[in-house]
Amino acid sequence: MCLQETKIESLPFVTAELNYLAPVTGKPRTYAFDPPPGEPKSTSLPEPHQVPIFDARLIAKNFSLDREGFALVRHPTQVKDFYNDEEVRAVYYPAVEAFLRATLKADRVVIFDHTVRKRVDGAADIRGEGPRQPATRVHVDQTAVSGANRVREHLPDEAEELLRGRVQVINLWRPIRGPLRDSPLAMADGTTVAPDDLVASDLIYPNRRGETYSVKYNPNHRWFYVPEMTPDEALLLKCYDSATDGRTRFGPHTAFVDPTTPADAAPRESIEVRTLVFHKQ
């Protein structure tokens, strides 16, 4: 039974608040550092909406990275300390690369960065100031422009040749400790996301300008989450796909406050690894 044949409304769900993009004049922009005097930190203001988020566990095998834009996978790891950057790069990177190459039948996988997050009550998500916090706005990590530019940035000598084939940006996200009950990740079914829902937004760094998609509210969006994920599980999130043959190219996602989370739940700890996935076609 494929997802389209499943009665989604029969699945358990929670109703939670997701932060979409409020209407804005001009291209939204956010500074990843203290902005110049008189400039707001961000013009991407939140527009919260209460939405049902369906429990994906019962139908997890039906999800397709190419169709819905995300997938749940089993991926045990030998890493002892995800806060040890050297261990992550020496042990985790090769394992993720090999796993994605085999799982996605890719010709090549290149990891370009990773982020470890640990939720701290009241803390803002500011780079370089304490642990990174869960991202609590609906977004896609890349756009049609920045996805291709990632190849040019990280593999400049090979970029134009590689861009002749299919390129994906895939984020492998996992909890560091589990079962995870705090600030889980919600994923939108990419088949319910219209192109006009995605709003290209500048992310400004001291030395460069990136681009992500903010997301406008659409009542047709269908949201899923995987409750109580364990450290042996991971989510694959599609952040960009150069293929334009009808597959989902961009997968909106966000952390959210689950109203059923126990008061004594441990704060969320997670790691995401962002990768370039190449197919020669």
- Report yes or no: 78 and 90 within 8 Å, Cβ to Cβ: no
Tell me the Ramachandran region of residue 156: left when phi exceeds 0, alpha when psi lies from -120 to 50, beta otherwise.
Answer: alpha
- Reported in sequence order, the residue ranges of 41-148 that DSSP labels E, i.e. its strands, are 46-55, 70-74, 108-118, 139-140
Burial (CB count within 10 angstroms: exposed 0-12, middle 13-18, buried 19+), residue 209:
exposed
**3-279 has CATH 2.60.120 classification:** yes
Tokens describing residue 132: 């990174």
Q: What is the overall mean pLDDT for the chain?
A: 94
User: What pLDDT does 1 receive?
Assistant: 44
Read off the amino acid at residue 90.
A
- CA distance linking residue 181 with residue 262, whole number of Å: 8
Residue 196: Cβ within 10 Å count:
8
The DSSP bridge partners found for residue 15 are 52
Domain boundaries, the chain: 3-279
Walk along the chain (281 residues) and give the pLDDT tens digit of each residue. Answer: 445 555 787 899 999 999 999 999 999 999 988 899 999 999 999 999 999 999 999 999 999 999 999 999 999 999 999 999 999 999 999 999 999 999 999 999 999 999 999 999 888 776 766 689 999 999 999 999 999 999 999 999 999 999 999 999 999 999 999 999 999 999 999 999 999 999 999 999 888 899 999 999 999 999 999 999 999 999 999 999 999 999 999 999 999 999 999 999 999 999 999 999 999 87
Burial (CB count within 10 angstroms: exposed 0-12, middle 13-18, buried 19+), residue 79:
middle
User: What pLDDT does 125 receive?
Assistant: 74
User: What pLDDT does 4 receive?
Assistant: 52
**Dihedral angle over CA of 126, 234, 254, 141, nearest 10:** 70
